[in-house]
Structure 1
Amino acid sequence: MGIRDFQRRHDALREIARGNHEVMASPDSLHVQLIALRQDVEKLRSEPQTGQRILMKRDTLLPKWRPYVDRYLAAGEVHQNPIFSYCTVWLFDVGNLGEALRWVDIAIEQQQATPENIKRDFAHFAADAVLEWAEREAAVGHAIEPYFSQTFERVRSHWRLNEALTAKWYKFAGLFLLRDDKGEPRATAVADVQTLRQADALLAEAERLHRHAQVKTHRQRIAARLRALNEA
């Protein structure tokens, strides 16, 4: 690399760091953009605290890199785009699930590769991320809609996932219907026969998909509850 090329690259990196979107949008600067992205990712990974990494993604990295992704999506051209991939992951990480799900649908359609540190495709990554989020939110009594149902529809009808992960979704959906006022799955807390049958059907599907789904006891309790209601 000549001195002039080095200087141009240095200047372009400096402009990207300043948030100069004209430089970011230039087709000639793609190589420079990826260098700058790699530097940001290395800086992110060097931060030891999870909370600080999330803040960095939300307050610094997404505002910096999103304009490039917006231009890429608006252009309608399809190619492997690491910036788009990282930003999609970061949207999940910061809890912006509405936009994350919209972007991940595009990433899956375009067959975008996930970032190098993620050893699974976007469908499996998103299914894992939303399920973990739903488990956390439900555990503290927070609402999980509409994102849980939106993602569950993708899991059931659109995404090709392994059986074990799909079974986890069906199991969570079934147990969620059985939650008592303390958030614990308890068949005796449910008096509606239709809800009990719906929960059992979901758990049965989890068991069909993965024999280690560990739903047998829950299904037995549902059956006992249905008998008790029928005899009442």
Structure 2
Amino acid sequence: MGYIIYFILIMIVPILVQVYLKKTYAKFLKVPASSGLTGAEATRKVLDENGLYNVAVEEVRGTLSDHYDPRSKTVRLSSDNYYGTSIASISVGIHEVGHAVQDKVNYGPLRLRHSLVPVANIGSNMSFIVILAGMLLASANLILLGIVLMAAAVLFQIVTLPVEFNASSRALKVMVGSGIIRNNEESGARKVLNAAALTYVAGTLVAVAELLRFVLMFIGMRNEED
């Protein structure tokens, strides 16, 4: 039974969440916002309203490849969202503005996430290799090292959750408050933002489940040694 639950967590849940995100995004990508602003125009407007004149808005290739780059102070929007005038396009753009505002006000979880990037990168790239080596060599110490590395990557994902939810909360308030979307459009914007946030929740659940599996494996090896 435990393996079935584990399989559902690491395989089925992420797939279902991705399907839901793409379906929701595609639906509201076809619904024009009453403001008539493109994602890029709405993003620029809100950046300026928050005094973020130094933050650029650029087009980037890909689908849902939108992100805020704190190093270059740039909001990058995928083509559909950069030029689109839909509720989805505007919602995604303003969500990224939320990250820019977090950067401006030194939002704690965002600062913590940035500080974790180097160790999280090492953890995500090396943890499975170290754990596999530990399994092949029957070395509990190597497995423990791999678990520590994996835990760093998992911590990064956990810290990402409040960062993303806060950015979405900021985005929704700004869009309604500034009139970029009207009250009857708020529900659609919320659905787009929530669907995107669910992908981070699913990713974190998978990461935690993987970490727990290896922790239990390590405990089992230690018990056998005793």
Q: TM-score, normalised by structure 2?
A: 0.26
Select the structure that is richer in strand: 2
Q: Higher relative contact order at CA 8 Å, sep ≥6: structure 1 or structure 2?
A: 2
Q: TM-score, normalised by structure 1?
A: 0.26
- Structure with bigger gyration radius: 1
